[in-house]
Amino acid sequence: MKKILSIIFSSIFLMTSAANAGGMVGFKAGVGEIDGDRTEDGKFGTASGSVSSEYAAIFAEFEVTDMFSVGAELIPMEAIIDTKASSNVDSHAKISDHKTIYVLASIGDMFYAKAGYSQADVSVTTNYVNTNVTDAPDDLAGPMIGIGAQLESPIPFLDVVRIEATYTDYGSMSITTTNLNGTTDTDTKKGEATQTTLTIGFAKSF
């Protein structure tokens, strides 16, 4: 699935850059928050954690009809989800290289809705030197929905201004760790992750 998404993502950017594609290329910036919930842990129970940060993304779209467009977006950001940042007994996950493919539907002259599928690379590390991660996913993926407003840009060389909010549900993940202090104790943690964003973007139409 990860390879298929990458191929589609690259294809959208290539199609958008083609002559007379009837699309746009742009960038957006704002605030993103990733929330993580540990839903199962035999030793330490449930917990929640989140990280918020400013970020930027690039996107490209091409028109399918007057009402619908297909697009791709890349967020070159890294975020760490850690439910016990001050503890040495927990694990944390680093999320990076976030890609989304989506369909955008215009609503009237100003507003739009979008829905798609997102995927991000994941690297899991323990906070405790005597613990190894023996099983963990290398990516997270899930559906994305969003709403926004599109206006004419006051900047001469850009055509479009967008204000947008999105929500992505990455579903559940499972991490298994093994204690190396001589007891060979194995522990499996399960959790869920979501992301919300609020951005302002600018794009050039062609």
What are the tens digits of pLDDT across the range 187-204?
Answer: 676 777 788 999 999 998
Closest of 92, 80, 84 to residue 46, by C-alpha: 84
Q: Which residue has the higher pLDDT, 87 or 111?
A: 111
Residue 4 pLDDT more than 60? no
The helix/strand/coil state of 4 is: helix
Q: What is the pLDDT of residue 135?
A: 75
What are the tens digits of pLDDT across the range 10-41?
Answer: 555 555 555 455 688 999 999 988 777 666 56
Name the CATH topology of 2-205: Porin (2.40.160)
CB 41 within 8 A of CB 189: yes
Sign of CA dihedral 9, 26, 117, 108: negative
Q: What is the pTM of this model?
A: 0.76
Residue 42 pLDDT more than 70? no
What are the tens digits of pLDDT across the range 98-154?
Answer: 889 999 999 998 999 999 999 888 887 776 666 777 777 788 889 999 999 999 998
Q: How confident is the model at residue 174 (pLDDT cuts 50, 70, 90)?
A: confident
Mean predicted confidence (pLDDT) in 83-110: 76
